[in-house]
Structure 1
Amino acid sequence: MAAGAGILELPFIHDDQLTQCMRLRFQSLQQKKLRPQDGEKLLRPNEHIYRVDFIQQHNLRFLRWSIQLERPGKVTVTGTSQHWTPDLTHLMNRQLLEPVGVFWKKPGDKNVEYNEADAQEFGERIAELAQIRKVMYFLLTFTDGLEPAQLKGSVIFKA
């Protein structure tokens, strides 16, 4: 949490339990030779569930992303429209929000790059959704060798 004049920094929290639960769903379907529900999103090995807890829900204005990557690679942050319930086991593709935030770091670079227009729109959407949610869930996809332990991320709002 950043102190200061109405600045609120809300970290992405890796939800290990939910990620594991969703992986078990995938394994269970494979073992039983069953098909997923129509439109169901199954977690791939490079996908993890994160959440942001809104300690304040009203009058939030998106300021910026704070994404730090310890090594080169790419992370795609996709919001979900899943409400209240922490059970994303049956996450449906239609619950994945647009636009997504794509953040990457090239070999030799110090700074993380991203598509500013999409990231801005995505951040504003999160601020809107915060008004009706205490928690928001995100699907993070790690590529180019990047792993969850190498990410530190948060969303920064003006309160």
Structure 2
Amino acid sequence: MSLELTFNPDVQLTEMMRLRVQSLQQRGQKRQDGERLLKSNEHVYSLDFSEQALHFTCWNICISSPGRLNIIATSQLWTPDLTHLMTRQLLEPTGLFWRSADDENIQCYEADAQEFGERIAELAKVRKVMYFLFAFEDGLSPESVECSIEFQTSK
């Protein structure tokens, strides 16, 4: 059976992480050693896993204007309500998807996208929710992207 999960923007968490950056700047403080601060073009998204036994099938990415989308997964160690995001909690590879001005098709590094999807399926075995940083580049904005991931379930 196929299961499609949509990446959901976590507006509250994105705002909380932006406030952390502002607070450090206002007080003239530096980030903690190893802390990963949210960049202005990044937004936090989450995936909620209703099933745990998943096998990655494909990405469903719709980009309505030219630009690049880099999806960075966080590991199961990050609890955003309790701790700051640390650089070591970011997973490789990332999912890099883009659309050129002269091409309607979405491009990606297929091997990386495949491995990234498989790692998400692996983490789903022990997670109910997983968090991602979506970096919108080259003129892309959250409004111009729809993103989901498809899995086969074991049922």
CA contact (8 A) 2:99 2:106 kept: yes
| 1:18 and 2:24 correspond | no
Conserved? CA contact 1:11–1:154, under 8 Å: yes
Aligned: 1:152 with 2:146? yes
Q: Distance in 1 between matches of 2:126 and 2:41?
A: 30
TM-score by length of 1: 0.92
Following TM superposition, by how much is the alpha carbon of 1:87 offset from its aligned partner in structure 2, in angstroms? 2.5
Tell whether the 8 Å contact from 1:73 to 1:143 is kept in structure 2 after alignment.
yes
Structure 1 residue ranges (4+ consecutive) displaced by more than 6 angstroms after TM superposition: none
Q: Does the residue aligned with 2:62 lie in a helix, a strand or coil?
A: strand
2:19 aligns to what SS in structure 1?
A: helix
Instruction: Give the whole-Å Cα distance in 1 for the aligned partners of 2:82 and 2:28.
Output: 21
Does the aligned pair in 2 maintain the 1:22–1:88 contact within 8 Å?
no
* CA positional deviation for 1:84: 7.0
Shift of 1:110: 1.4
Query: Residue 156 of structure 1 aligns to which amino acid in structure 2?
Result: E
Partner residue of 1:55 out of 39, 44, 50: 50
> Structure 2: how far apart are the matches of 1:153 and 1:54?
15
Cα deviations by residue, 1:65-107 (Å, 9 ceiling, x for unpaired): 0011010000000100144734276101111000001000000
Contact 1:73 1:106 in 2 (8 A): yes
Unaligned runs of 5+ in 1: 1-5
Q: What fraction of aligned residue pairs are identical, expressed as a percent?
A: 58
Q: Provide the C-alpha distance between the structure 1 equivalents of 2:114 and 2:82, rounded to a whole number of angstroms.
A: 26
- CA gap of 1:89–1:19, structure 2 versus 1, over 3 A, is farther
How many residue pairs were aligned?
153
Q: Deviations over 1:16-50 (max 9, x none)?
A: 00000000000001111111000111111101100
Q: 1:79 to 1:129 in 2, by over 3 A?
A: same
Q: Paired residue for 2:111?
A: 117
Q: CA deviation at 1:109?
A: 1.4
- Aligned to 2:140, what secondary structure does the other structure show? coil
Of residues 137, 143, 148 in structure 2, which corresponds to 1:143? 137
Say what the alpha-carbon RMSD is for the aligned residues.
Answer: 1.3
- Structure 2 gaps, min length 5: none
1-structure distance, mates of 2:61, 2:87: 25
